[in-house]
A and B are shown apart, each in its own frame.
Chain A
């Protein structure tokens, strides 16, 4: 029978029961390979559940550094009887099924075209441990031990990781090493070392990159960017962002002498209150942010409109997920673009940033705090579950020592005393951005009353049509300023000239990079543009005009980015070809390359009449 053979290039998927303690064992597996210098890209696929429902952890081992989800499974570690049938089905022909062979299984439970690796995990565990919880937890470590033999993972790396995890807790360290060795010893004694032809070989492909979750990175970006107020409401997949902010602040933001906090975090009663608190703090001159996901955005929408019209800085990190209610929401999507870009009543448009990985989550969250102050408006950081809640290998964080917060146009008491004219909504520089004052700036000058729409350049109440129009035109001018100062698109050109282009953004990035390599290898040349912000830079329109057809790759059903491009530019919509993936799993290079190749083939088909003539 065929047996898949690969070195440093395969996918292992763990099928577990939620709450069984598998997550830390699976992460240990991924990290040990990383420590051998081989990049890995792990992904959690988890239910809306604390205990009992199926959960998966997929590890892509990729010396080439393709960090997107590949698709397909080369080895399944099937630890969940509930999902056995579908798990077995998912294995590539010639792949491997690793299972707990304590109980004999009927041959009908297996497939003939896959290789079976049975390890009596329950039997080993029960022979060693009496405590039920210990049995459950150490069973996970035992399978990591057995896998380390089969895949050639260096046990010393695993032991080092234990040492870091259980520093100062020698008892835990010893018991974990013991469990690891139980699995290794059993596999050495009972299994043919050549049974599994997927191998890990020490390499040097990780470099100085870091391994971090996007939510953790964004939270750190908020610390570095100077956020002092955070208000949030628990919602998967964004909760860990606010929690990480709290953890970072505890270490980095307490006054050394007094021990007091240079930040304030409020877990609000709902998302309406979260954004209200952020807006109140922004109005009063503190940098503030909230983290949320789609349903939270829906609730915040009225406030977002107020902040836009009243020109109050606010940062909203939206860790996107599937649609409403529960279940699908613990899966990833890029489906809140329209609801964020045009959130609220009246003519509203907002600034969105699209980070591709944790490094950009860090950069863009810090940048968003500057942009919000500079533009005096809400700024969204549009991440998603795939980036936010998975460890991703990325470039280390960098901070320029000379960088100071850009607090934007703030008029001080000295400015007012010097006789500068203060009109809260007066465009003095031609960029659409007025000056503001913080409350209590000056005893007699610079105070004003903040309202939504109904005001003139000097913040006086006015319901006059012409005054309203002037203000709306200034806000449009400000939006055009945002177009220039937000992160610009990045272009990746094919080595050969081509009439085809592709536009993509956010978490699609690693899968797209890999798909472009596949397409190039197959002789299909495509230029690529990664959009990093809305409003779109002029270069987005130029890119589209440069090509006959432009694929727009997105993780939603309605082609939301494509709609926004059509909305913002004057274009022939037929030029923009949607490539859409939205089943809740992260998009794969295989999907993108296949879909684009199929569509390219259709474009290249010579029409029948032409061929016949």
Chain B
């Protein structure tokens, strides 16, 4: 970490996006994480994604649990509200926040301990409810703040910094999210900004439960030989299924590509995802195939990355609950209170 405060004045030559903000307007406080921490790269990718999407910074609500990853929301989009909740329970708080105001952009940030260990139950349930959000797990397989214990995503047989091998089966959050009904599921690597930024943008444009598992090496406790979440290991075993380009707007894509090298998916909000295939045939709209491919990757020891599954026309929790279009937190006494006349009728029915 650095102790040098960020300058508040921006250079006048910084380029503004359509919303009138520079990239720096999407930054947050100075990170207190370790130098080289993968989480800081992910924060930078989130900043880049928000800038490129022309998001109004205050329209974002950032929620997190407890842990190194959960500190990260302080380090991006400083002009928005954030909530550092309790360990493993961010999903329920984000669900409630989303119910209160359906118009904001919800960004849930969590870690592998927070989401796969203590918070596995809430992780599963927020996916099955279809909360409209982007849920990012900064996955390093280890507890950082408590100094190096295994988390539930640590691979079986991987070795801790102290030389102990993990004997427990690991939990694959990507498989779980697909199984639980998330409608946008991807995996990436904190060291691969070109893959990560478009994935975050596409996830934020997705009007349903979007989940990104981002492998994010812990330089302090899990970046050694024998770790399967180290920079070296992930680079060697990264099996990217596709590269996506995120394109806003409703115009049809006209650029020509060689047949078989590209597919497009249109999301419900009109945005396009252009998927450049890398090698094998892979259709991310096919849920069963996605589950099969992810499992094959796990069996082969690959870190399968890219957009793994997408339902381009998702239904979210507000759809299921048939709530009014106006955010519930804008409704007041006249909208909500039935008044004395209705109460008299109720009284009469209770005699």
Contacts and interface: CB of A to CB of B under 8 A. Distances in A.
Contacts of A225: 337
B249 to A, nearest CB: 24
Interface in B164-195: none
Given A399-B343, A405-B333, A449-B73, A288 B79 contact: no
B338 A252 contact: yes
B122 A276 contact: yes
Contact of A447 (B80, B101, B322, B323): B80
A467 interface: no
A281 interface: yes
Contact of A228 (B89, B94, B95, B331): B331
A439 B86 CA distance: 19
B58 A286 contact: no
Contacts of A212: 350
A273 B346 CA distance: 32
Contact of B99 (A224, A281, A302, A437): A281
Nearest to A34: B351
Interface string B125-157: 100010000000000000000000000000000
A266 B130 CA distance: 12
A226 B333 contact: yes
A269 interface: yes
B84 A449 contact: yes
Interface in A360-419: 396-401, 403-405, 407
A276 B96 contact: yes
Contact of A401 (B59, B95, B129, B339): B339
A272 B119 CA distance: 11
A268 interface: yes
B329 to A, nearest CB: 4
A303 B81 contact: no
Contacts of B347: 208, 210, 396-397
B67 interface: no
B118 to A, nearest CB: 10
A28 interface: no
Tell which of B89, B122, B329, B333 has the most Cβ of chain A within 10 Å. Answer: B329
- Interface of chain B: mostly helix, strand, loop or mixed: helix
A306 B93 CA distance: 11
A449 B82 contact: yes
B332 A272 contact: no
B98 interface: yes
A544 interface: no
A241 B120 CA distance: 29
Interface stretch (A57-65, A253-261, A561-569, A599-607): A253-261
B58 A306 contact: no
Contact of A439 (B61, B93, B350): B61
Contact of A211 (B85, B89, B351): B351
A514 B325 CA distance: 52
Contacts, number: 226
Contact of B324 (A211, A258, A399): A258
Interface in B307-338: 317-318, 321-325, 328-329, 331-333, 335-338
B294 interface: no
Interface residues of A, number: 73
Interface string B90-112: 01111111111101100000000
B121 interface: yes
B324 A261 contact: yes
B83 interface: yes
Contacts of B331: 226, 228, 262
Nearest to B124: A269
Contacts of B96: 229, 231, 276-284, 286, 288
A276 B85 contact: yes
Nearest to B336: A226
Contacts of A405: 332-333, 336-337
A405 B351 CA distance: 28
A447 B79 contact: yes
- Interface of chain A: mostly helix, strand, loop or mixed: loop
Contacts of A403: 333, 337
A310 B84 CA distance: 10
A93 interface: no
Contacts of A265: 321
Contacts of B226: none
A348 interface: no
What band does the interface of chain B fall in when counting residues whose beta carbon is under 8 Å from A? 35 or more
Nearest to A442: B58
Contacts of A253: 336, 338
Nearest to A448: B81
Interface string A438-452: 111111100111111
B57 to A, nearest CB: 7
A228 to B, nearest CB: 4
Nearest to A216: B350
A223 interface: yes
Contacts of A448: 81-82
B56 interface: yes
A5 interface: no
B5 interface: no
Interface string B13-50: 00000000000000001000000000000000000000
Contact of A229 (B94, B324, B328): B328
Interface string B48-74: 000000001111010100000000011
A492 interface: no
B342 interface: yes
Contacts of A210: 347, 350-351
A92 interface: no
Contact of A285 (B100, B129, B337, B343): B100
A364 B340 CA distance: 17
A211 B346 CA distance: 11
B350 A211 contact: yes
Contacts of A273: 89, 91-92, 95, 121-122, 125
A256 to B, nearest CB: 11
Interface string A263-301: 111101110111111111111111010000000000000
A220 interface: yes
Interface string A140-168: 00000000000000000000000000000
A401 B339 CA distance: 6
Interface string B280-316: 0000000000000000000000000000000000000
B100 A281 contact: yes
B78 interface: yes
B339 A280 contact: no
A443 B58 contact: yes
A450 B83 contact: yes
B346 A276 contact: no
B117 to A, nearest CB: 15
A260 B84 contact: no
Contacts of A452: 84
B329 A262 contact: no
B81 A285 contact: no
Contacts of B125: 268-269, 273
Contacts of A259: 322
Tell which of A273, A407, A442, A444 has the most Cβ of chain B within 10 Å. Answer: A273
Contacts of A226: 331-333, 336-337
Contacts of A211: 350-351
B93 A400 contact: no
A380 B57 CA distance: 36
30 contacts: A208-B347, A210-B351, A223-B336, A223-B337, A229-B328, A260-B322, A270-B121, A273-B121, A273-B125, A276-B85, A276-B122, A279-B93, A279-B96, A280-B94, A281-B96, A281-B99, A283-B93, A284-B61, A284-B104, A286-B96, A286-B101, A288-B96, A288-B100, A396-B350, A403-B337, A405-B336, A405-B337, A438-B101, A447-B78, A450-B81
- Top 5 nearest A-B pairs by Cβ distance? A280-B96, A276-B92, A286-B100, A439-B81, A285-B329
Given A276-B93, A396-B347, A398-B340, 9 more contacts: A224-B337, A262-B336, A272-B89, A278-B96, A302-B86, A306-B86, A401-B339, A440-B104, A447-B79
